A and B are shown apart, each in its own frame.
Chain A
């Protein structure tokens, strides 16, 4: 019986028929047909599905007659693959589309409608080398770079600010030791020899009204973005006291701990056990060298704590008084903090009293939410806000509808797990010019919910 079903499955082909990229408005930016078994009207069909008034994001897989559309939504673009059989492996197709997005990002500097439009020839070339007859051939930057001939066009217009970095006689001034945010967003072909090691962490937290952590989780990634013309080996040293899983702590004091971690297959871990050093030969473009996860016991207190007070005033308005405290160390600060407070249905207007001028708040009735934005929030400080909401037919039951508060933020130069890069060494063989080395840390919120 099982033999029979197995042969049945293999009889049908399982590959990608077409790949296309649509802008969020439905403009067809790139379209390539690999097998010719699905008509080109598939794009239109897919767009109809996207715009269908379901009110929510399109599910990952949609089916129309025999055609299955698998899509990935990134950078405001739909990257879509079609296939004719339901037996196609979803993990492989989605990972392929993600990889395509990452490659476009690597080659063009960013993934957006504009860069795709400018570089469509390059993207056709990429697709041509990545897929043949719908089968993935290669997606590694190192292999592809031998085949790709078209040069990427950067969407960054010429600006006088670029000249600001150039000192006398065209020498780099190196005024700041901090890599500009746009530094990594540049195409990989072209000149400068630079390497970026980014430690990016995503935090997801659920906190009770009394400040008790109900869930705390950190997903981290060490990414290496390499623009070195040739480099045989990189060594990245992590905290020496890093312990993994439940292995005994090293040294004394607050050791850095992660629950589990995975490495890129190319990473050599000879020195990892003894000295926590990752060794690898970097490829061009961006690679995720190590991913790790930490749950429940974070080494530091959660970065934000909220003290809410909700009541009804005599005029029948809903008063929400929030004190938000940032528990980061005083030297660091959170940026782009935005707190979304869910409010009862039918709120008509909002009046606000905010504790400092660089904050703002607005009511979004269609989302039933008040959004409180804080551009910069230094550690160890506290902000407060008073929101008065006019809610017709405010009942005591509507008070139950207030909350939770969801925070989104970015913590530059902070890792929630405490992971640090001790050193970054390039193999000595390849010094043709001074390679610039950057190590950056950032923690972003994945979902940071505080109950009220």
Chain B
């Protein structure tokens, strides 16, 4: 901040500096210069002292020299003519016997940033490259880069470039690294310094001599090198292995970055590198520097995109400290959500629950929405916490909870009953528009389940004149109209009042237009309105994003160790934002629906089906509508399952079928992603064994709702490992031969032929890429009640497709 009256100060200083008595007294002279630099760094303009400072430059006192150079470098560009005077002193210093003086002069000569002085600088720079002292060579090398930056369009001097290339062999490691940096800048147009095999190997061999900064620089530049053979590649990788677990985060990050770019075609090696780097990353998570902690967290988020299970066992490292800043806490919560699994979910939710009452409202809100996201996989536990939080009756918490519940219901509709029961009384506490919108959306969409919905809406409608947010008003319109469709008797009157207000009194155009639209829509008849306004209540396909399948490393490898992950709003918060938006533009989407509504409803629905599911081809070919409802508790499932096993032969109405499905890596996919993918096609999974445990088992069920009757299907997926599965499978097919012969019919034959080819291929493949994942042959046991072969076949094909989409490579 500039001081008032600094003109006087500058004038005083000018007088002091030009006083010959001061000049003769070294200490006083230096103090005066110190004062100049002090006020300069405070932002005061001291450029008027330039000529005095130039004079002060000619001294034997190195401290004074350094101070003057600080000044000169800042103001040289304003006084090009006077700066010429300095050049003489600088050139003389370049001949000084003291290497420190030489390097100082050379550095500041190039720091003046004056194109007009170029001609004087080149000669000392050339001499500097051959100086005896390493510190001078360091400066000279970078000096050429500075010159090039001053005149980017000038011809590149080939001799200099050659000299710089030869200095890569300089005994001083800093000179070597500086050469790389300089060449990188000078040859920018040609794509930077050329890394051929000898240079790359030279750099790798000397890596150990460099300090942390040099190493990370060299590693970054080596990313450009393409090894010629696989042997060479693996030699390089084993050479770098020690740096991969370096306790210095810059080196570790740069090495990992290099690993990922070198191994872009070898996913298995990349994954192994990620595993290896887990230890150092976790150690850096506990670093004393909170900035490093934050950076590590952001990068861990990247890693988790490809290896969701990487840190699962270490979730406690991501618990928030009380005094940590909110930005770290929020990142930690985002990581925690990714880490949740069957083993740690209880502890994790317990910890997150503590954060919900944080003093910082953003942190509290982040914690609540984190619980909501976990709720997509573990809905019961989370709903208990969320409803408990409503009991606190605090405005910000209630608002966040209601918004979270809305988002949760949208992706996992099975929560709707609990949510609807919890909504009573919330309207008195909510005062912010986001929370109100969420509540209104829930009331409108699930009005049939909330007893008090009409009364709540009536209170809103009575207060609509005082409502400031137009988004809330639009949401209110939609909610009231939707409620009218399911509970007309209670709502008719208030809807009329609301529409009247909206059309006659409202000043906001958007609200008025929407009211008008609804009014005209109602004139077309209730059935038409229903078609338009009552769309889907949920979209489980969004749910798949939580347990989204592992992304390939290449998706993020190029932003690893850059600033991007730190500034990036992570996909997660984006998701939350977008789901906040979906309600606010809900009315608009209704509008666009309305436009289409005159056309065929059925078309729209099939289109909806298409976009909704990734397994659309099979689903459309054998459409079997599946449904999650009514829900089955694990106990009921167990009962039915055991009953099914003992009575299959006797009971005519049930059927048991065994099938083998091939797929890659399903056993490696996390339970959440598996569950999410299954829910997407309305298959509920009930129990899992953890990842990579053999035998791997999953129990699931669904209901088919094919026209004649609806049936219940129970299923077990079993993977025992490659060895014993063959006989196992054989026995079973034999045993149940009569039971499933009709069902499997031609399909199994076709599959059998196909399977043999695939297994052969798969075997070879798995030999090549051992870590990459084996071809798993899953035994699928299905039980249906009552029997409906067509539905069962349809179900099986859906299941197969999902299993195939889950495996990363597909077939």
**Taking the complex as formed, is B357 at the interface, i.e. its CB lies under 8 A from any CB of chain A?**
yes
**Taking the complex as formed, is B57 at the interface, i.e. its CB lies under 8 A from any CB of chain A?**
no
**Taking the complex as formed, is A254 at the interface, i.e. its CB lies under 8 A from any CB of chain B?**
no
Chain A hits for B135, CB < 8 A: 147
Chain A hits for B324, CB < 8 A: 447
The stretch from A29-37, A178-186, A347-355, A434-442 touching chain B is A29-37
Q: Is there contact, CB below 8 Å, between B359 and A57?
A: no
Chain B hits for A61, CB < 8 A: 563, 566-567
Q: Is there contact, CB below 8 Å, between B212 and A90?
A: no
Q: Is there contact, CB below 8 Å, between A260 and B279?
A: yes
Q: Is there contact, CB below 8 Å, between A70 and B563?
A: yes
Q: Is there contact, CB below 8 Å, between A11 and B286?
A: no
Q: Is there contact, CB below 8 Å, between B354 and A404?
A: yes
**Taking the complex as formed, is A423 at the interface, i.e. its CB lies under 8 A from any CB of chain B?**
no
Chain A hits for B434, CB < 8 A: none
**In the complex, what distance in Å separates the CA atom of A293 from the CA atom of B280?**
12
Q: Is there contact, CB below 8 Å, between A397 and B224?
A: no
Q: Is there contact, CB below 8 Å, between B291 and A128?
A: no
Chain A hits for B42, CB < 8 A: 27-29
The stretch from B181-189, B400-408, B608-616, B695-703 touching chain A is B181-189
Chain A hits for B392, CB < 8 A: 397-398, 400-401
**Taking the complex as formed, is B19 at the interface, i.e. its CB lies under 8 A from any CB of chain A?**
no
Chain A hits for B185, CB < 8 A: 13
Q: Is there contact, CB below 8 Å, between A33 and B213?
A: no
**In the complex, what distance in Å separates the CA atom of A236 from the CA atom of B740?**
74
Q: Is there contact, CB below 8 Å, between B212 and A95?
A: yes
Determine chain B's interface SS by DSSP, over half rule: helix
**In the complex, what distance in Å separates the CA atom of A93 from the CA atom of B206?**
23
**In the complex, what distance in Å separates the CA atom of A219 from the CA atom of B357?**
28
Chain B hits for A293, CB < 8 A: 283, 286
**Taking the complex as formed, is A307 at the interface, i.e. its CB lies under 8 A from any CB of chain B?**
no
Those of B275-296 within 8 Å (CB) of chain A: 279, 283, 286, 288-292, 294-295
CB distance from B42 to the nearest CB of A (A): 6
Nearest chain B residue, comparing its CB with the CB of A86:
B563
Q: Is there contact, CB below 8 Å, between B391 and A400?
A: yes
Selected from A56, A120, A202, the residue in CB contact (under 8 A) with B326 is A56
The answer to whether residues A95 and B292 also contact, given A89-B254, A147-B100 and a CB cut-off of 8 A, is: yes
Selected from B1, B216, B290, B562, the residue in CB contact (under 8 A) with A87 is B562
The stretch from A135-143, A190-198, A327-335, A414-422 touching chain B is A135-143
Q: Is there contact, CB below 8 Å, between A219 and B286?
A: yes
Q: Which of A29, A62, A121, A291 has the most CB atoms of chain B within a 10 A radius of its CB? A: A121
The stretch from A2-10, A106-114, A297-305, A373-381 touching chain B is A2-10
CB distance from A297 to the nearest CB of B (A): 13
Nearest chain A residue, comparing its CB with the CB of B351:
A206
Chain B hits for A426, CB < 8 A: none
**In the complex, what distance in Å separates the CA atom of A100 from the CA atom of B292?**
14
**Taking the complex as formed, is B9 at the interface, i.e. its CB lies under 8 A from any CB of chain A?**
no
Q: Is there contact, CB below 8 Å, between B354 and A138?
A: no
**In the complex, what distance in Å separates the CA atom of A406 from the CA atom of B250?**
33
Q: Is there contact, CB below 8 Å, between A89 and B191?
A: no
CB distance from B324 to the nearest CB of A (A): 7
**Taking the complex as formed, is A451 at the interface, i.e. its CB lies under 8 A from any CB of chain B?**
yes
**Chain A 26-64 interface 0/1 with B at a Cβ cutoff of 8 Å (1 = within):** 111111110110000001000000000001110111110
**In the complex, what distance in Å separates the CA atom of A120 from the CA atom of B317?**
39
Q: How many residues of B contact A (CB 8 A)?
A: 93
Q: Is there contact, CB below 8 Å, between B562 and A10?
A: no
Those of A111-144 within 8 Å (CB) of chain B: 120-121, 124-125, 128, 132-133, 135-140
Selected from B149, B290, B563, the residue in CB contact (under 8 A) with A88 is B563
Q: Is there contact, CB below 8 Å, between B359 and A367?
A: yes
Nearest chain B residue, comparing its CB with the CB of A369:
B359
Chain A hits for B142, CB < 8 A: 132-133, 135
Those of B458-486 within 8 Å (CB) of chain A: none
Q: Is there contact, CB below 8 Å, between B253 and A91?
A: yes
Q: Is there contact, CB below 8 Å, between A60 and B291?
A: yes
**In the complex, what distance in Å separates the CA atom of A150 from the CA atom of B64?**
9
Those of B298-355 within 8 Å (CB) of chain A: 316-317, 319-327, 347, 350-351, 354
Q: Is there contact, CB below 8 Å, between B294 and A60?
A: yes
**Taking the complex as formed, is A238 at the interface, i.e. its CB lies under 8 A from any CB of chain B?**
no
Selected from B220, B223, B563, the residue in CB contact (under 8 A) with A90 is B563
Chain A hits for B777, CB < 8 A: none
The answer to whether residues A128 and B66 also contact, given A6-B224, A86-B564 and a CB cut-off of 8 A, is: yes
Q: Is there contact, CB below 8 Å, between A217 and B327?
A: no
CB distance from A431 to the nearest CB of B (A): 31
Total A-B Cβ pairs within 8 A: 239
Q: How many residues of A contact B (CB 8 A)?
A: 98
Q: Is there contact, CB below 8 Å, between B295 and A60?
A: yes
Chain B hits for A451, CB < 8 A: 354
**Taking the complex as formed, is A250 at the interface, i.e. its CB lies under 8 A from any CB of chain B?**
no
The stretch from B33-41, B706-714, B744-752 touching chain A is B33-41
Chain B hits for A413, CB < 8 A: none
Nearest chain A residue, comparing its CB with the CB of B221:
A10
**Taking the complex as formed, is A287 at the interface, i.e. its CB lies under 8 A from any CB of chain B?**
no
**Taking the complex as formed, is B416 at the interface, i.e. its CB lies under 8 A from any CB of chain A?**
no
Q: Is there contact, CB below 8 Å, between B286 and A6?
A: no
Chain A hits for B595, CB < 8 A: none
Q: Is there contact, CB below 8 Å, between A72 and B291?
A: yes
The answer to whether residues A56 and B360 also contact, given A28-B42, A125-B66 and a CB cut-off of 8 A, is: yes
Chain A hits for B224, CB < 8 A: 6-7, 10
**Chain A 72-98 interface 0/1 with B at a Cβ cutoff of 8 Å (1 = within):** 110000000001001111111011111
The answer to whether residues A91 and B191 also contact, given A6-B223, A86-B564, A124-B70 and a CB cut-off of 8 A, is: no
CB distance from A26 to the nearest CB of B (A): 7
Nearest chain B residue, comparing its CB with the CB of A368:
B359
Chain B hits for A139, CB < 8 A: 211-213
**Taking the complex as formed, is B558 at the interface, i.e. its CB lies under 8 A from any CB of chain A?**
yes
Q: Is there contact, CB below 8 Å, between A135 and B567?
A: no
**Chain A 299-326 interface 0/1 with B at a Cβ cutoff of 8 Å (1 = within):** 0000000000000000000000000000
Q: Which of A59, A263, A401 has the most CB atoms of chain B within a 10 A radius of its CB? A: A59
**Taking the complex as formed, is A233 at the interface, i.e. its CB lies under 8 A from any CB of chain B?**
no
Q: Is there contact, CB below 8 Å, between B192 and A11?
A: yes
**In the complex, what distance in Å separates the CA atom of A133 from the CA atom of B142?**
7
**Taking the complex as formed, is B4 at the interface, i.e. its CB lies under 8 A from any CB of chain A?**
no
**Taking the complex as formed, is A232 at the interface, i.e. its CB lies under 8 A from any CB of chain B?**
no
**In the complex, what distance in Å separates the CA atom of A62 from the CA atom of B70?**
28
Nearest chain B residue, comparing its CB with the CB of A400:
B392
Q: Is there contact, CB below 8 Å, between B107 and A140?
A: no
CB distance from B249 to the nearest CB of A (A): 4
**Taking the complex as formed, is A345 at the interface, i.e. its CB lies under 8 A from any CB of chain B?**
yes
**In the complex, what distance in Å separates the CA atom of A10 from the CA atom of B225?**
12
**Chain A 201-241 interface 0/1 with B at a Cβ cutoff of 8 Å (1 = within):** 01010100000001101010100000000000000000000
**Taking the complex as formed, is B139 at the interface, i.e. its CB lies under 8 A from any CB of chain A?**
yes
**Taking the complex as formed, is A446 at the interface, i.e. its CB lies under 8 A from any CB of chain B?**
yes
Chain A hits for B529, CB < 8 A: none
The answer to whether residues A63 and B567 also contact, given A33-B74, A56-B325 and a CB cut-off of 8 A, is: yes
Those of B115-158 within 8 Å (CB) of chain A: 135, 138-139, 142, 145-146, 149
Q: Which of A35, A120, A135 has the most CB atoms of chain B within a 10 A radius of its CB? A: A135
Those of B514-552 within 8 Å (CB) of chain A: none
Extra inter-chain contacts (4) besides given A3-B226, A11-B191, A406-B322, CB under 8 Å: A56-B362, A90-B561, A91-B254, A135-B178
Write the residues of chain B forming the contact surface with A, with a CB cutoff of 8 angstroms.
Answer: 1, 34, 37-38, 41-43, 62-63, 66-67, 70, 74, 100, 107, 113, 135, 138-139, 142, 145-146, 149, 174, 177-178, 181, 184-185, 188, 191-192, 211-213, 216-217, 220-221, 223-224, 226, 247-250, 252-254, 261, 264, 279, 283, 286, 288-292, 294-295, 316-317, 319-327, 347, 350-351, 354, 357, 359-360, 362, 388, 391-394, 554, 558, 561-564, 566-567
Q: Can you spell out 7 A-B residue pairs with CB atoms less than 8 angstroms apart?
A: A11-B188, A94-B295, A121-B37, A121-B67, A340-B322, A342-B357, A406-B322
The 7 closest A-B pairs by CB, nearest first: A447-B321, A136-B213, A406-B322, A92-B250, A262-B247, A57-B325, A61-B566
